[in-house]
Amino acid sequence: MPDRLARAIAVIEEAAILATRFFHARDTIETRTKRAQDFVSEADTTVEALIRERLAEAFPGEAIVGEEMGGTIGNAYWIIDPIDGTSNFLRGSPLWGISLGFVRDGRPELGVVALPALKQLLAAADGTGLFLNGKPCPRDIPFAEVRLMSLGDSLSDDIDDIAALHTGLRRSGWIVEGFHATSIGLAFTACGILDGHLQKTTTMWDIAGGAVLVREAGLEVRIGHDAASDAYWIAAGTGALIEATERLWPAIATAS
């Protein structure tokens, strides 16, 4: 495993311990609302602060951007989602994660995603393959005839547009899951639980870490960016899912 990836893993391992403490004490932590059904908690800000501190120690001088504390996006930077799936976290669902990515020239090239409640940490960098809890993790696909994928959502999405994509996928033979945590959808895709994850509106902090995992697991990853809104989209998964999705969501055919 490359030293750079190992150091990033160590940062997220420590963050996962802290986040787990907050998860077990979630009834007592402070929360506030960014907008309707969009929450931020004391856990989000404290975990991001720890990750920033440890990244600065491990990678001096490198730029850092985070969901809660911002930062300047340049040619190369670390990007953090300290608690992805805050709503799940606050309700006691185990389906939340910590996502860290390193992006160079707009392309994620290193990713670490911790799923603390599931006791899993997935990591990859360009050319490394996928690691699960520190060990190489070839993608295992039990019952490949089960066509299972996840569809992400955003408060910015057009509800009818997402409903049409959901319906089209179902009619194409896919079972469509929804986890409200992008890191879960991408991590589950990388390790073979899902065939893929689609999301029409997302952010770089949501997708940077998980996109690398999926790519290094041998699957296809397409990312697009709308400069006007600064929103991203992602289509990640098997060739069969991407092909089916192109008929329903033609925009993904123009990106790579």
Positions at the binding site: 67, 81, 83-84, 206
Query: Which residues participate in the annotated binding site for Mg(2+)?
Result: 67, 81, 83-84, 206
Pairing of strands 64-66, 76-84: parallel
Question: What is the C-alpha to C-alpha distance for residues 171 and 40, in angstroms, rounded to an integer?
Answer: 36
Q: Please report which helix (H) or strand (E) contains residue 21, including its range.
A: helix 3-24
CA dist 57 to 23, 75, 245, Å? 26, 20, 42
Nearest by Cα to 67 from 235, 184, 208: 208
Name the nearest CA neighbour of 199 among 214, 110, 217.
Answer: 214
Asked if 23 and 116 touch (Cβ cutoff 8 Å), the reply is yes
> Which stretch of DSSP H or E encloses residue 177?
strand 175-177
Q: How many helices (H) and strands (E) are present in the chain, helices listed first?
A: 7, 14
Cα(30)–Cα(66) distance, integer angstroms: 19
